[in-house]
Amino acid sequence: MNLSREAIVETALEIMTAYGLADVSMRRLASALGVQPSALYWHFANKQELLAAVAGVVLADLPIVEPADWAAGLKRWASGLHVALRRRRGGAEVVSAVLALTAWEAGPGAAVEESLVAAGLAADQAHAAAVGLLYFVIGQAFDEEQRLQAAELGVPARQVVTAYQAVPAELAATISPSAAAESPVTPQIPVTAESIVAHGQQDSAAVVEQVVGLIVTGLLSQTN
């Protein structure tokens, strides 16, 4: 076959989407493409370079934050990032792994920071906002991925985990109303697989929107 970078990345995305990032090995990728693993290294120096290309596809076409409308643009960008990360299994995981070894200036948050500075925000505020938003959304999406994968592994719905977790009363009420009623401050409640899956199904897009709204409100208060 006529092997190309595009074909390799596309196949890596297919494997990741179907089975998860852990299954994207050079050996498995070569087998899926019908070539020897050594053939892949003509196109990518190492696996990290390949994963960077995969992450680039995941993050393609993110909304641009225009300085003239930065508040609304920031919300669109965060929402677009969240959608992009959740579009494929392993999206948040591969982006997180790649950004850990990528300079800030080369990552997706740098352009957001530049737009905020161009809009008149202080450099330290622009940087903090861009960093905070980027890693909050990645963390939120990664958490959703992990919960979904746990559910797909067939964790018995009512198997109680041996550890106990102290949680705020308002959160405990959504997991175990009886436990919340018994101790309204910080009840000790059993964390079950059932509750983990239920919380993974919450409207995470709304959570992202709320958090971004709070950040934008804080930034606006500093610029007025």
Class of 5-56 per CATH?
mainly alpha
Q: What is the pLDDT of residues 23-55, one digit of tens each?
A: 999 999 999 999 999 999 999 999 999 999 999
Two structure tokens written together for 212 = 């971004």
Two structure tokens written together for 180 = 């919340």
Three-state DSSP state, 72: helix
Two structure tokens written together for 133 = 């938003």
Paired residues of 180 in beta bridges? none
Query: How far is it, in rounded angstroms, from Cα 224 to Cα 221?
Result: 6
Mean pLDDT of the chain: 83
The pLDDT of residue 205:
82
Nearest Cα neighbor of 7 from 48, 47, 40, 55 is 40
Two structure tokens written together for 98 = 């790649």
* Sign, CA torsion 127/129/134/135: positive
CA distances from 23 to 27, 94, 153, 160 (A): 10, 12, 15, 29
Nearest Cα neighbor of 73 from 116, 107, 105 is 116
The 10 Å Cβ neighbour count of residue 64 is 12
Supply the angle between the helices 109-118 and 70-86 in degrees, to the nearest 10: 170
**197-203 average pLDDT score:** 52
Query: How far is it, in rounded angstroms, from Cα 39 to Cα 172?
Result: 54
**55-78 average pLDDT score:** 95
The pLDDT of residue 165:
41
Q: What is the pLDDT of residues 73-117, one digit of tens each?
A: 999 999 999 999 999 999 999 999 999 999 999 999 999 999 999
Domain-by-domain residue ranges, the chain? 5-56, 64-154+204-223, 160-199
> What's the Rg (C-alpha) of the chain?
21
Query: How far is it, in rounded angstroms, from Cα 204 to Cα 42?
Result: 41
Question: Is 144 within 8 Å of 200 (Cβ atoms)?
Answer: yes
The amino acid present at 60, given as its one-letter code, is: A
Return contacts of 99-102, CB within 8 angstroms, 24+ apart: 99/55, 99/138, 101/48, 102/52
